[in-house]
Chains A and B, each alone.
Chain A
Amino acid sequence: MPGAGAVRAIRDRIRSVQSTAKVTKAMQLVAASKMRRAQDRAIASRPYADRMRAVLAALSGYASGVSDDELHPLLRQRPVKNFAFIHITADRGLAGGLNANMNRAGAGLALEHQPHVERVSVVTVGRKGRDFFRRAGFPSLAEFTEMGDYPGMAQIQPIARIVMDDYMAGTIDQVYIGYQRFVSTAVQRPTLRQLLPVTAPEGAEAPQVDFLFEPSPVQLLEALLPRYIEMQIYEAILDAAASEQSARMVAMQAATDAANDMVGALTLIYNKARQELITNELLDIVGGTAALEA
């Protein structure tokens, strides 16, 4: 039989769940508006990415005939002793399984390469991935955090600089990039791909058009390849930003729904308990009156 104290406890619990729902609802709305902008930015960068791939494909067609030594260093394959990867996560949590899934994929990539190379190191972008790989004790080449909700090209350049410099210096032999690819608001997929050495994009076979090159194809490639690396990192980071806001919006929506369900269930219990309490009090009064009349 519930006492008045128990009924008050249920009421307090309802209030607490209601205020949680208010917070998660607010976070959901914030994430929804940020998501829209992040998605627009990811979409707006696509023409540049697509066209740059086409230009590189056309250019590397001309480079394909040359011997290994003549190949641009960023294109040249070599035995992999030092493997590195850029690991992109969010700075903040409350985004469902987004960061955990990315960390799992990154760890998988590291463990897969570890037996075959001397060293696996990581460049982390985002606090969640940084903390994860710190705990795991992986050597870190660099850590980037606080990229903001809408990172720009200027913030990407230092990341590209580090991997390109280390690659050219020969301290790393292969570089991958891992990020949460934005598929849709509901679906984000951990994606791992090779960044260095650069593999020519689709359609890079025999050149179909006889181009005039000014300056030479080798010089153009030399200028284009760093921009291509930057573009790929930029694309990954924009996608990751859109994924983060989408995952957070969906997670917060689920939390709000769960909180509202709980309020409903608790309200039912509360009403029942209150009714019982009133019934018991009435019974007491009725019983008392009956005793007096007897």
Chain B
Amino acid sequence: MPLSLSVVTAARTIIQRDDVLRLVVPTTEGQITVLPAHAALMSSIGMGEMLAYLPGGEVLPMAVFGGFIQVVHDQVTVLAAAAERAEDINEERAEAARERAARRMAGQHAGPEALNLVRARLSMERALVRLRVRRRRSATGVPSMR
């Protein structure tokens, strides 16, 4: 029996489907793969790419930015601080954010600007996740779920 997956954020439900064969999740403890009949699990999620493998070789890539995952009896719940489906990611905007972050990181190093450096690193990381997820979709040619 496939997994039933819900990815929810405070604002809305991102994904809700019952035909997931395999789910790859970036937990804070490392990347894990959830298969049907997985042991009951609770874990925290980091920032990264989440992949839902569907029947027929389809892959549904998502970007997640922190949160929690619970697996019980093949029910997978992802409580995401933020999550985006690949087709909802704006590649130009992510690319612009990456360049902006790169400029900021090159420009400042220490002192009172150290906080800005941390921020720039975070926004760089977010941009890279978005770009990876977005490009995976174009590379594999996954049809839109809409």
The interface residues of chain A lying within 8 Å CB-to-CB of B72 are 209, 211
Measured CB to CB, the closest approach of chain B to A29, in angstroms, equals: 26
Number of A-B contacts (CB under 8 A): 75
B40 in contact with A220 (CB, 8 Å): no
B79 in contact with A51 (CB, 8 Å): yes
B79 in contact with A211 (CB, 8 Å): no
Shortest Cβ distance from A44 into B: residue = B12
For chain A, what secondary structure do more than half of its interface residues adopt (helix, strand, loop), or is it mixed? helix
Shortest Cβ distance from B38 into A: residue = A212
The answer to whether A220 and B44 touch (CB under 8 A), given A47-B8, A152-B11, is: yes
For chain B, what secondary structure do more than half of its interface residues adopt (helix, strand, loop), or is it mixed? strand
Shortest Cβ distance from A222 into B: residue = B44
The interface residues of chain A lying within 8 Å CB-to-CB of B12 are 44-45
Measured CB to CB, the closest approach of chain B to A41, in angstroms, equals: 7
A48 in contact with B79 (CB, 8 Å): yes
The interface residues of chain B lying within 8 Å CB-to-CB of A51 are 6, 8, 70, 77, 79
The answer to whether A224 and B11 touch (CB under 8 A), given A47-B6, A209-B40, A214-B41, is: no
B28 in contact with A215 (CB, 8 Å): yes
CA distance A152 to B9 in the complex (A): 12
Chain B interface residue bracket vs A: 20 to 34
Shortest Cβ distance from A52 into B: residue = B79
A12-53: CB near B (< 8 Å → 1, else 0) gives 000000000000000000000000000001001101110110
A220 in contact with B42 (CB, 8 Å): yes
17 contacts between A and B (CB under 8 A): A48-B11, A48-B13, A51-B6, A54-B77, A55-B42, A55-B70, A58-B70, A59-B42, A152-B11, A153-B10, A213-B42, A213-B43, A215-B28, A219-B44, A220-B42, A227-B81, A231-B10
Q: A48-B10, A227-B79 are in contact. List 20 more A-B contacts (CB 8 A).
A: A44-B12, A44-B13, A45-B10, A48-B9, A48-B11, A51-B79, A52-B79, A54-B70, A54-B77, A55-B77, A58-B42, A58-B70, A59-B42, A212-B40, A213-B41, A215-B44, A217-B42, A220-B43, A220-B68, A230-B10
Chain B: residues with CB nearer than 8 A to chain A?
6, 8-13, 27-29, 39-44, 68, 70, 72, 77, 79, 81
